[in-house]
Amino acid sequence: MKQTYKCKLRLKTEIAPGIFDYVVEAPEIAAEAKTGQFLHINCGGRTSLRRPISICDFDEGFVRFAFQVKGEGTEKLSRLDPGDVIDIMGPLGNGFTVNEGERAVIIGGGIGVFPLLRLARYHQDAPVFLGFRTKELICMEDDFNEANDNVVICTDDGSYGYNGFAVAAMGEYLMEHEVDMIYCCGPTPMLKTVKQIAEYRRIPCQISLEQRMGCGIGACLTCVCETKGEGMAKYKQVCSAGPVFDSREVIL
């Protein structure tokens, strides 16, 4: 039977202003987790909904996730200290579907880069385009470089790395290379553009979506995204049908 777990916070790092990197002791979750799945976290206080946060990494009884302080819940979560216990449901949702030997491109933006770390490690020869608004907001550059040989850090303002959007850097790459699969997680404008490019070039593309969420397990039908389906299938649950979708299926 599934349950919620009391997980001890072991490591806490503020990796960019307002962005925290947590490692928790969670053997049951680590044993089941797949790349691209998420955790549903009880932040305590007056919150009455858990917060969905994607899994960044897991290994040997530990699970790593990172989040940005956005509101009351994440603010409360950010104030915990190592040793404190966090109430976590998970792993939830469907992860990325990874195919051996495929020629992949990985692209992420902002706090959307975190669930891509394991993909970058698996496809360590694939190019990884990571976009950030500016130099100060770059996260996990060392982790990605350790995982993968072809990481391209991009900044919108040109303050570091590739000068421009990550999608532009990816576009240049696609002009010269055959690709079998694009993996993407990031802000909606990035998802939209990557989806467009992938469809124009007829490259299969998996995108990871975010939505305001309730139960996290498919029952309450609140965290939906619009799809090309009809009737009852028009809106699908991001929590249980996703959070990773075939880009051709969803309407952004």
Partner 1 sequence: MTDRLKIDYCGIEFRNPIVTASGTFGFGYEYDEYAPLSEYGGIGTKGLTRKPREGNKPPRIAETPSGVLNSVGLQNPGVDVFAEHIMPALSEQFDTHVIANMSGNTIEEYAEMAEILSGTDAAIIEMNISCPNVKHGGLAFGTDAAVVEELTREVKKRCKKPLVVKLSPNVTSVAEIARAAEAGGADGVSLINTLLGMKIDINTRRPILANNTGGLSGPAVRPVAVRMVHEVYNAVNIPIIGMGGAICAEDVIEFMLAGARLVALGTGLFMRPGMIFDIKQGLVDYMDKFNINNISEIVGKLELNQ
Question: Which positions lie near partner 1, rule CB under 8 A?
Answer: 1-4, 42, 46-50, 73, 89, 211-226, 230-232, 234-235, 240
Q: Are 54 and 36 in contact (CB under 8 A)?
A: yes
- The Cβ of residue 121 has, within 10 Å, a number of other Cβ atoms equal to 16
Instruction: For residue 173, give the 3-state DSSP assignment.
Output: helix
Q: How far is the CB of 8 from partner 1 (least distance, A)?
A: 19
Q: How far is the CB of 74 from partner 1 (least distance, A)?
A: 12
Cβ contacts of residue 4 below 8 Å, gap of 6+? 42, 87, 88, 89
Q: How far is the CB of 223 from partner 1 (least distance, A)?
A: 7
DSSP element (H, E) containing 107: strand 104-109
Query: 1 vs 175, which CB is nearer to partner 1?
Result: 1
Query: 61 vs 218, which CB is nearer to partner 1?
Result: 218
- The Cβ of residue 162 has, within 10 Å, a number of other Cβ atoms equal to 17
Query: 90 vs 127, which CB is nearer to partner 1?
Result: 90
Query: 128 vs 224, which CB is nearer to partner 1?
Result: 224
Q: How far is the CB of 210 from partner 1 (least distance, A)?
A: 11
